[in-house]
């Protein structure tokens, strides 16, 4: 079968050009443990039984991951019996083997809750319904041991994907480190493990995500934290590019496409100075194909109602959020900027 990737992944589609229904996305400017609890409570009703929490635990001493104390408080107050889930990496680094991964978890302080390296003891294949690249995806074996799933995502740039939202967190993060990730990243027989890029990469990654999202249908929720948004993925750890995009807030939804699209819209609503680095990273990697392909696979809606949890749950628009963001962002301005955002 001759499969051809889609096009226009470098093209941003304005809201008024989108079609379909609107999903609900919750938003708070409150970048704190309290803010995380606030958005979690809006989507937590679907989480039951044995809960898996997929987050990027980071390379050793990675500076940009979701702050560990925030996640610890969420577990202590809302997710006492939940488990952090991860898989080993495709590249050789601090999380390549299970032993290395466990050591890195200790270094980064993920010691307050159980952590399941889901591919430590093997893999499981789940179907990809309606995919054009795959009919199944190979994932960490332990994924199917859970009843419900929370994607707790640090939204940022990504070297291959352009941006890393809930789609990337699940699609790459649940694929096992040797088979599944290779299916996404590498053409069979290629000497370049990263040879798949742009639209084809976005589509393969999204099909991987679909396998997990379909498995947990009706029992899955998504939280994106827009903070410390380097153009680099958390996989790059201390080598990540400097943060030059201002912090925004935390978003949550039961619709994976809507929450990732809302984050991208919030970036595009920024001033040219503030959005330049992340916008360029998304467009040069053709990252918008993540969104259009999720729509084609009927994974959610590109239109949404953004609910402002800081202001009586009124509808708010990305342009309204962006006007309050500081200009000329640098990491050393974090404290003062965060205070401004919370006013």
pLDDT tens readout for residues 251-301: 999 999 999 999 999 999 999 999 999 999 999 999 999 999 999 999 999
In 3D space, the residue among 158, 136, 167 whose CA is nearest the CA of residue 54 turns out to be 167
Taking the C-alpha atoms of residue 342 and residue 85, their distance in angstroms, rounded to an integer, is 31
Gyration radius of the chain's alpha carbons? 18
Structure tokens at 108: 């980064």
First to last CA, the chain: 56
Q: Do the beta carbons of residue 319 and residue 269 sit within 8 Å?
A: yes
Q: Do the beta carbons of residue 155 and residue 66 sit within 8 Å?
A: no
Banded model confidence at residue 336, pLDDT cuts 50, 70, 90: very low
Average pLDDT (72-84) is: 98
Q: What is the DSSP letter of 326?
A: P
Please report the pLDDT score of residue 188 as a whole number.
93
Average pLDDT (105-129) is: 97
Average pLDDT (178-191) is: 97
In 3D space, the residue among 282, 277, 243, 328 whose CA is nearest the CA of residue 63 turns out to be 243
What are the structural domain ranges in the chain?
Answer: 15-341
List Cβ neighbours of 160 (8 Å cut-off, separation of 6 or more).
Answer: 185, 194, 197, 201, 285
Please report the pLDDT score of residue 327 as a whole number.
80
Query: Is 90 exceeded by the pLDDT of residue 232?
Result: no
Q: What is the DSSP string of 132-164?
A: SS-SEEEEEGGGGG-SEEEEEEE-EEETTTEEE
Interior angle at CA 252, CA 247 and CA 255, nearest 5: 130
Banded model confidence at residue 63, pLDDT cuts 50, 70, 90: confident
Please report the pLDDT score of residue 1 as a whole number.
63
**Strands 314-315 and 220-226, how do they pair?**
unpaired
- Percentage of the chain lying above the pLDDT 90 cut: 88
Taking the C-alpha atoms of residue 180 and residue 97, their distance in angstroms, rounded to an integer, is 15
Average pLDDT (220-231) is: 96
Phi, psi of 151 (to 5 degrees): -90, 105
Taking the C-alpha atoms of residue 273 and residue 67, their distance in angstroms, rounded to an integer, is 26
Residue indicated by tokens 């040797």: 178
| Whole-structure pTM value | 0.94
Taking the C-alpha atoms of residue 32 and residue 70, their distance in angstroms, rounded to an integer, is 7
Listed range (38-42, 175-179, 321-325) with the worst mean pLDDT: 321-325
Taking the C-alpha atoms of residue 274 and residue 194, their distance in angstroms, rounded to an integer, is 29
Listed range (136-145, 174-183, 207-216, 322-331) with the worst mean pLDDT: 322-331
CA atoms within 13 A of residue 169's CA, in its CB half-sphere: 30
Average pLDDT (27-50) is: 98
Please report the pLDDT score of residue 112 as a whole number.
97
Banded model confidence at residue 330, pLDDT cuts 50, 70, 90: low
DSSP alpha helices (H): ranges in 285-316?
289-296
Please report the pLDDT score of residue 332 as a whole number.
56
In 3D space, the residue among 242, 287, 240, 241 whose CA is nearest the CA of residue 261 turns out to be 287
As a whole number, the mean pLDDT across the chain is: 93
């Amino acid at each position: 079968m001759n499969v051809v990737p889609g096009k226009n992944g470098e093209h941003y589609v304005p809201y008024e050009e989108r079609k379909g229904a609107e999903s609900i996305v919750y938003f708070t400017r409150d970048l704190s443990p309290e803010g995380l609890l606030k958005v979690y409570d809006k989507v937590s009703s679907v989480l039951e039984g044995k809960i898996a929490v997929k987050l990027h635990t980071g390379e050793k001493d990675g500076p940009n991951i979701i702050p560990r104390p925030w996640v610890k408080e969420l577990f202590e107050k809302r997710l006492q019996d939940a488990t952090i889930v991860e898989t080993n990496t495709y590249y050789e680094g601090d999380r390549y083997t299970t032993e290395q991964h466990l050591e890195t978890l200790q270094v980064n302080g993920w010691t307050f809750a159980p952590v399941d390296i889901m591919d430590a003891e093997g893999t499981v294949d789940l179907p990809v319904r309606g995919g054009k690249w795959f009919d199944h995806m190979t994932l960490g074996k332990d994924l199917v041991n859970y009843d419900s799933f929370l994607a707790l995502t640090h939204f940022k740039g990504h070297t291959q994907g352009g941006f890393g939202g809930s789609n990337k967190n699940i699609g790459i993060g649940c694929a096992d480190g040797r088979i599944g990730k290779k299916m996404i990243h590498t053409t069979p027989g290629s000497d370049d493990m990263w040879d798949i890029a742009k639209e084809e990469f976005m589509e393969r990654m999204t099909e991987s995500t679909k396998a997990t999202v379909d498995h947990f249908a009706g029992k899955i929720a998504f939280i994106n934290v827009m903070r410390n948004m380097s153009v680099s993925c958390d996989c790059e750890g201390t080598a990540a590019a400097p943060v030059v995009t201002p912090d925004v807030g935390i978003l949550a939804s039961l619709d994976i496409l809507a929450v990732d699209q809302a984050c991208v819209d919030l970036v595009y609503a920024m001033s040219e100075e503030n959005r330049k680095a992340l916008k360029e990273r998304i467009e040069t990697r053709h990252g918008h194909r993540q969104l259009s392909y999720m729509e084609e696979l009927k994974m959610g809606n590109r239109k949404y109602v953004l609910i402002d949890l800081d202001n009586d749950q009124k509808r708010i628009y990305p342009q309204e959020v962006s006007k309050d963001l500081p200009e000329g962002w640098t990491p050393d301005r974090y404290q003062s900027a965060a205070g401004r955002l919370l006013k």
